[in-house]
Amino acid sequence: MPRYELALILKAMQRPEVAATLKRTIEALMERGAVVRNLENLGERSLPYKISKHDQNHRRGGYFLVDFDGPPAIISTMMDHLGRDVDVIRPTFLKHPVSKTEECSGIIPVNYEDKLYTKKK
Amino acid sequence: MEKLLMQATHFSPWKMHNFQFRQEIVFCCCCCLEAVFLKRFNSRFYFVLATVLWRRGYSSQQELVAHKVDLPVEMENPYKDPPKRCVLCGINVDYKNVQLLSQFVSPYTGRIYGRHITGLCGKKQKEISKAIKRAHVIGFMPVMYKDPTFLNDPKICDIRHPE
């Protein structure tokens, strides 16, 4: 099962309400057969731009990150579900970024002259 | 060596390669071949040639050997500089660290700087621009301006002096 990341932006609420919303979301994920690995809180900050959702203009939001493994079919159903949730401002599903520290061999100088002349077919 | 042969034989210069081949045969076993030469080829030319070659036998062999040792050994340039690295070489680029992404964005308009200003290699420039666009959509990074908290970060891209 591929590994996904859910970048979740919730409405700026009090702590118990935030907890309730997160619980709902993760239970919905688990119902559909996902295995949640990790839940990170990136803090409550002011949004980079005004987002209007569910007839409300939001300027502040709580940022959360949910790491999970799940079947690819749940993505579309989860997007529907989160779209209907009033407390969720912006849900985004991403493939989990594989943190690869490849051996960057540096800038290899390209010989532009060769590129120019050997293009004859 | 070749001049001596010329004087002895009065042969044209472009036939010298034949003589050199014979020179090598002689150098393998110079003493015994001298006798062979004298017996097989009774003409005056070959006699002179054989004696000349025999007398010069040892020294020429040493010259040949020394000549081969003196040739430059083929190897990669040991004084080569290591390839130039861009600023982000070896650093993992993520859409989540907005501070890193904001360093490659204009503070006034929020536009992503081009390759000639950032000085990044092709791969990293692409990664950065993809990450910035992703952060815009997800709601992590402002689009039309640079986040004010990151305005005093160390400058990587100098727009007045690109590269």
A51 pLDDT band, cuts 50/70/90, is very high
Nearest Cβ partner for B84 among A97, A101, A106: A106
Q: How many CB atoms lie within 10 A of CB B67?
A: 9
**Residues of chain B contacting residue A51, judged by C-beta atoms under 8 Å apart:** 139
Q: Identify the pLDDT of residue A21.
A: 94
For range A63-89, the mean pLDDT: 93
**Residues of chain A contacting residue B144, judged by C-beta atoms under 8 Å apart:** 49
The span from the CA of B112 to the CA of B116, in Å, is 12
What does the pLDDT look like over B106-160, one tens digit per residue? 999 999 999 989 988 888 999 999 999 999 999 999 999 999 999 999 888 877 7
Nearest Cβ partner for A107 among B85, B90, B139: B85
A120 pLDDT band, cuts 50/70/90, is low
- Model pTM score: 0.70
What does the pLDDT look like over A12-22, one tens digit per residue? 999 999 999 99
| Inter-chain residue contact B92 with A51, CB threshold 8 Å | no
The span from the CA of B127 to the CA of B37, in Å, is 77
Strand ranges in B51-139 using DSSP code E only, listed in sequence order: none
- Pick from A96-105, B6-15, B67-76: least confident: B6-15
Q: Identify the pLDDT of residue B25.
A: 44
All structural domains of chain B: 2-64 (no CATH), 85-163 (4.10.640.10)
Q: Identify the pLDDT of residue B112.
A: 95
A64 pLDDT band, cuts 50/70/90, is very high
Residue from B147, B143, B92, B155 nearest A103 by CA: B92
Q: Is B87 on the interface with A (CB under 8 A)?
A: no
A98 pLDDT band, cuts 50/70/90, is confident
Q: Which helix (H) or strand (E) holds A46?
A: strand A35-53
**Residues of chain A contacting residue B96, judged by C-beta atoms under 8 Å apart:** 42, 65
The span from the CA of B77 to the CA of B127, in Å, is 33
**Residues of chain A contacting residue B124, judged by C-beta atoms under 8 Å apart:** 104
Q: Identify the pLDDT of residue A115.
A: 79
Question: Which of the pair, B28 or A56, is modelled with greater confidence?
Answer: A56
Q: Tell the burial category of A104 from Cβ atoms under 10 Å away from its Cβ (0-12, 13-18, 19+).
A: middle
| Inter-chain residue contact A49 with B138, CB threshold 8 Å | no
Nearest Cβ partner for A48 among B92, B95, B141: B141
State the complex-level ipTM: 0.87
Q: Identify the pLDDT of residue B36.
A: 47
CA of B81 vs chain A CAs: smallest distance (Å):
12
Positive or negative torsion for Cα B70, B75, B76, B80: negative
**Residues of chain A contacting residue B83, judged by C-beta atoms under 8 Å apart:** 105-109
Q: Identify the pLDDT of residue B56.
A: 57
Q: Is A52 on the interface with B (CB under 8 A)?
A: no
For range B59-68, the mean pLDDT: 62
What does the pLDDT look like over B80-109, one tens digit per residue? 888 888 888 888 889 999 999 999 999 999
